[in-house]
């Protein structure tokens, strides 16, 4: 299946600012049965956009707008080809725990087992862990799936309940939040079990008449847990799903702080209030990529002619 993605971000400033410097993580990854056929990112005001890969293999586009502006727009467009993902087995033998402990003890997955800025142990998290009886069950994979089910059933999806920088305690206290919050809670709990777990940002294509409880006009977040027998397995606690073909992966990291869609700084003569507006459109494309498809060129730079958004404000993963 092919998916067409258009992601537009606009920053408006109360007063004119003199310069913006920004980076964006919006290009879908090319691994795990997913291929980025085409990708382009442009800005308004115009800028020269360059790209590099970070340590996790995420594509990072960066640019600088040195002139005065009060509106900044980033437009990212992608064509992604995703193959059907073979579902993981229903269960894993309990011996998987022993196979898991050897590589994790070596420090190989230290960053995905340690607390991170948004996924760390708190008193409220410990209370939730006790309520759900968190522990290593006989089936390691079943334990992770059951954990996603518990989060899905115990928390209400509510877009206005938290902010992009909310700690997990806000969602834990009110039992309300968005996919970003649910992913952070699950990551913190999975790591307590000694299972490497990472944050995945991206998009979710909604099937017709689906029971998915989040809107299709925003970015999405889920998690991936690592098992020796299977590698990284994606789980979506927001919708109580095993991540599949419709989960379009953009970036992976310890938590949201590693992979915000946009992040940057600006120069202004005084304190400047910014307003952020985001529009996302994801749609399926009939047919598969043919030989005439234009491949993505990884080290490209673009000249664009319009404004762009930047600031230390980032976009919350809403779905």
Q: Is 98 exposed, middle or buried (0-12, 13-18, 19+ CB in 10 A)?
A: exposed
**CB 218 within 8 Å of CB 238:** no
Residue 248 pLDDT exceeds 50: yes
For the chain, the average pLDDT equals: 87
Q: Which two tokens stand for residue 50?
A: 């360059």
Amino acid 211: pLDDT: 74
Q: What pTM did the predictor assign?
A: 0.88
Q: How far apart are CA 295 and CA 232, in angstroms?
A: 26
User: How many Cα neighbours within 13 Å face the side chain of 236?
Assistant: 23
Tell me what the mean pLDDT of segment 151-176 comes to: 96
Amino acid 271: pLDDT: 53
Tens digit of each residue's pLDDT (9 = 90 or more) over 271-314:
556 566 778 888 777 644 333 333 333 333 333 333 333 344 45
Residue bearing the bigger pLDDT, 211 or 110: 110
Residue 270 pLDDT exceeds 90: no
Tell me what the mean pLDDT of segment 34-63 comes to: 96
Task: Find, among 123, 144, 122, 241, the residue nearest to 194 by Cα.
Answer: 144
Amino acid 289: pLDDT: 39
User: How many Cα neighbours within 13 Å face the side chain of 33?
Assistant: 16
Residue 168: CB atoms within 10 Å: 27
Tens digit of each residue's pLDDT (9 = 90 or more) over 175-231:
999 999 999 999 999 999 999 999 999 999 887 656 788 767 679 999 999 999 999
Q: How far apart are CA 264 and CA 25, in angstroms?
A: 12
Amino acid 297: pLDDT: 34
Per-residue pLDDT band for 90 (boundaries 50, 70, 90) equals: confident
Residue bearing the bigger pLDDT, 306 or 30: 30
Q: What torsion do the CA atoms of 14, 15, 17, 22 make, to the nearest 10 degrees? A: 0
DSSP run (H or E) holding 173: helix 168-174
Residue 251 pLDDT exceeds 60: yes
Amino acid 272: pLDDT: 57
Q: Which two tokens stand for residue 147?
A: 């954990």
Q: How far apart are CA 263 and CA 258, in angstroms?
A: 10
Q: Which two tokens stand for residue 314?
A: 């980032």
Amino acid 285: pLDDT: 79
Residue 252 pLDDT exceeds 50: yes
Pairing of strands 156-157, 176-177: parallel
Tens digit of each residue's pLDDT (9 = 90 or more) over 54-81:
999 999 999 999 999 999 999 999 999 9
Tens digit of each residue's pLDDT (9 = 90 or more) over 229-244:
999 999 999 999 999 9
Amino acid 263: pLDDT: 94
Q: How far apart are CA 177 and CA 188, in angstroms?
A: 16
Q: Which two tokens stand for residue 217?
A: 């006009």
Domains of the chain, first to last: 2-82+260-303 (2.60.40.2250), 96-258 (3.10.620.30)
Out of 18-22, 143-147, 163-167, 271-275, least confident range = 271-275
Q: What are the backbone angles phi and psi of residue 266, rounded to the nearest 5°?
A: -140, 165
Tell me what the mean pLDDT of segment 144-149 comes to: 98
């Amino acid at each position: 299946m092919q998916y067409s993605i258009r992601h537009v971000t606009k920053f408006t400033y109360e007063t004119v600012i003199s310069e913006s410097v920004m980076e964006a993580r919006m290009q879908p990854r090319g691994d795990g049965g997913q291929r980025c056929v085409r990708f382009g990112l442009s800005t308004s005001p115009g800028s020269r956009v360059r790209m590099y890969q970070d340590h996790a293999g995420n594509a990072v586009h960066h640019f600088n707008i040195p002139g005065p502006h009060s509106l900044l727009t980033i437009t990212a467009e992608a064509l992604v080809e995703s193959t059907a993902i073979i579902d993981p087995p229903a269960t894993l033998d309990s011996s998987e725990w022993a196979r898991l402990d050897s590589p994790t003890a070596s420090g190989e997955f230290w960053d995905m087992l340690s607390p991170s800025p948004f996924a760390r142990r708190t008193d409220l998290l410990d209370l939730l862990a006790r309520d759900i009886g968190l522990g290593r069950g006989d089936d390691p994979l079943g334990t992770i799936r059951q954990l996603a089910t518990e989060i899905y059933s115990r928390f209400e999806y509510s877009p206005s309940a938290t902010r992009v920088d909310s700690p997990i305690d806000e969602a834990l206290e009110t039992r309300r939040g968005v996919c970003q919050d649910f992913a952070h809670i699950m990551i913190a709990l999975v790591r307590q079990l000694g299972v490497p777990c990472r944050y995945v940002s991206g998009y979710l294509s909604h099937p017709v008449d689906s029971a998915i409880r989040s809107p299709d006009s925003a970015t999405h977040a889920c998690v991936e847990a690592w098992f020796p027998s299977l590698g990284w397995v994606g789980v979506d606690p927001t919708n109580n799903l095993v991540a599949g073909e419709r989960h379009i992966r953009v970036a992976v990291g310890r938590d949201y702080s590693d992979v915000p869609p946009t992040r940057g700084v600006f120069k202004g003569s005084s304190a400047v209030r910014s307003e952020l507006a985001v529009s996302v459109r994801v749609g399926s494309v009939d047919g598969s990529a043919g030989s005439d498809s234009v491949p993505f060129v990884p080290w490209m730079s673009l000249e664009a002619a319009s404004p762009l958004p930047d600031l230390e404000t980032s976009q919350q993963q809403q779905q």
